[in-house]
Chains A and B, each alone.
Chain A
Amino acid sequence: MTRTPEITLREYEPSDGEAILDAFNRVFAGVQQGFEARTLAEWRWRFVDNPAGGRASLALDEHGRVLAQYAGLGVRILLEGEEALISQSVDSFCDPRVRGGLARAGLFVQAGRSYAERHGFDGAGEDRMMYGLPVPAAWRVGRDQLQYSMLSPLWRLESQAEAFAALRADTDVGVDVTSNVPQGVDALFAKTCAAEPARVIKDRRYLAWRYDERPNVNYQWLVAQREGELVGWMVLVAGQVEGRQALWILDGLVETGDEGALRALLARAARLARASGLDTLAQVTTDACAEWQVLQDLGFWVVPGSYSFAGRSYMPRRPVAWWAEHLALSLGDTDLL
């Protein structure tokens, strides 16, 4: 007869990193082809160093081994003019050896409920909504047991790099390639996004963490300036998403209506793609992105992505339908690259 182990549900602590990774790497190696083991440095960057905080509800056995995790990364947003927190659910798992049967609800669901109770609330310092890109099995469990709703598809916007390399850019906009977050991003964000209903805060603190401080990944920055003033930026990385090899635009910002700066950035990105032997310039976004139409005008075409953008709102006056219409996400707001 098998003895039912004692299960402890609790919030993670920074010292749990090795125990979490031991389970995480074992579980994902078993289900994900080509999985590369997560390093402690990467884990610390995600959960401990994140300026908006990491969260994880853990289910542990009596030996302190992690059996299940429901985890998320804090995301600071500007919500109708005020700073608020939401979170991106990532890296959740349940050890297949204990999946189901241990209690009325599976351990994954127990961890997920504990996470939602601890972090999801319509109040300062709490997560007003949670979003994620669940795989189909996680979506079904989330929908049935954790109150997930579908927000929207994530779309790929793709273009031939060759066509964009020839984009006519304003001659007064200069674009430089750098490896660090440029000066002036805070002012540009404040000027550009203050009136948007829901926008992830792309300030120096966030951008430095997301792109400059990430271990083992080198992102490229494009910095557009007009008369010495920052008028736009983009973050790029070559890689594969949904089986598509491309130069990916992870993130970017130009002042609303400054099509000259946008064209200059895209043209430079396209030339970098070609120089890297890549024929496609692509990005992933929701249709709430402010440049949705102008990007199509410039020549991006829309391709359905295979990821679903699902979530749960904790704001009674802002149901998931509202977030679906107003929250713009870019590839950099996910953990895909």
Chain B
Amino acid sequence: MSVALEIRPLREGDEQSLLATFEAAFGRNLSPQAWHWAFRQNPAGTQVQVALRGEQVVAQYAALPSRVWMDGQARVFSQVVDSMVHPSERGGLGRQGTFARTAQAFFEDHSLNGPGGGEVSLFYGWPLPANRRIGERLLGYERCGRQHALARPVEALSDPAPSSLAELNVEELSGFDDQAQWLWERCAREMEVGTVRDGAWLLWRYICHPVHTYTCLGVRDSEGILRGLAVCRAVEREGQLLASVVDWLVPSAEPEVGSQLLAAVELKARQWSCDALALWMPPFSLWFAWFQTQGFQMHPTSWQRVVRSFDRRVGSALLSEGWWYQLGDSDLV
């Protein structure tokens, strides 16, 4: 007789079994450091529901929450990641199966107005096609269409290219303080909703990441005030090495700061021998048009964004015309 299924929030002590199931489900290893960073150190908290048979974790539904600012209030959006079911449980991928029951328990615990008193207005993600289909069928995922990227080849400049960040008055940042929040607050006026990119979030997302090394480029004025921030990393995608701008935080009224940062990203891209620059930019942002004037073109990607809203204020129109998100709001880079 099989051991009864227990579905509950993650507890201390589940980690080892969870990571073993991760390897069985995805066929790759997730280091304890990477797991700890994602699910224990996130400044917005931990959202993990597990299903166990005895001591063994056999399924997980998990998300990375972030504080967002909307209508002058803090809310929570949460990116669904690493959801899985052990291969031995895959017979139960129906509505009453292990995976769906784990996910339902997760939503009950974490969704706004749910019985568990959760506070998440919106769950979102860029799932693989098979996972997306399961999500649409069983979990109320709503597809928002293809994700688009702006990209431009790294061209050899005819003029002598700057050889250092100092030449561009751009510095590489090794940490974030209150100025990050001030910068974000200046940019937030142009967004209807977006992740609060304060020092704590930026530090966790980019500086403390246990696997990837991000380059954080900043422009300061003569008084030392941070006027703009670009975070980038070289990423291999479909045979190309891309200098991915994973975060771009510059008030749109300051295109000269944008030009400095873009030049700095190009400098890094050349140093990393990248083929192209790439980023995500919401089409409603003034930066979307600006990057096109800098030679970027819009490309559809193979990623499909899905959402599930638990907040009637967070509807399709807001998500397509007001949600400011970047590659750094995903776990794809």
Contact = CB atoms under 8 A, between A and B. Distances in A.
A325 B144 CA distance: 13
B145 A302 contact: no
A149 B143 contact: yes
Contacts of B129: 321
Contacts of B293: 301
A293 B283 contact: no
B119 interface: no
Interface residues of B, number: 25
A152 B146 contact: yes
Interface in B260-278: none
Contacts of A160: none
Interface in A290-325: 292-293, 296-297, 301-304, 308, 319-321, 324-325
A302 B316 contact: no
A151 interface: yes
Most B-side CB within 10 Å, residue of A151, A153, A304: A304
B314 to A, nearest CB: 13
B192 to A, nearest CB: 14
Most B-side CB within 10 Å, residue of A293, A297, A302: A302
Give chain A's interface residue range (CB within 8 Å of chain B).
20 to 34
A324 B31 CA distance: 36
Contacts, number: 58
B138 to A, nearest CB: 15
A324 B146 contact: yes
Contacts of B300: 287-288, 292, 325
Interface string B96-133: 00000000000000000000000000000000010011
A150 interface: yes
A325 B146 contact: yes
B302 to A, nearest CB: 8
Given A150-B142, A152-B146, A324-B145, A293 B297 contact: yes
Contacts of A297: 297
A101 interface: no
Contacts of A321: 129, 132, 143, 304
A151 B49 CA distance: 31
Contact of B142 (A143, A293, A303, A304): A143
B316 A296 contact: no
Given A302-B292, A308-B320, A321-B129, A152 B297 contact: no
Contact of A320 (B143, B283, B316, B317): B143
A243 interface: no
Interface in B289-311: 289, 292-293, 297-300, 304
A136 B316 contact: yes
Contacts of A293: 297, 299
B105 to A, nearest CB: 24
A139 B143 contact: no
Contacts of B284: 304
B289 A301 contact: yes
A153 B147 CA distance: 10
A296 B304 contact: no
B320 A139 contact: no
Interface of B: 129, 132-133, 142-146, 148, 283-284, 288-289, 292-293, 297-300, 304, 315-317, 320-321
8 A-B pairs with the lowest CB-CB distances in the bound complex, closest first: A304-B283, A152-B145, A296-B297, A287-B300, A302-B298, A301-B292, A150-B145, A149-B143
8 contacts: A149-B143, A150-B143, A150-B144, A153-B283, A293-B299, A303-B289, A304-B283, A325-B300
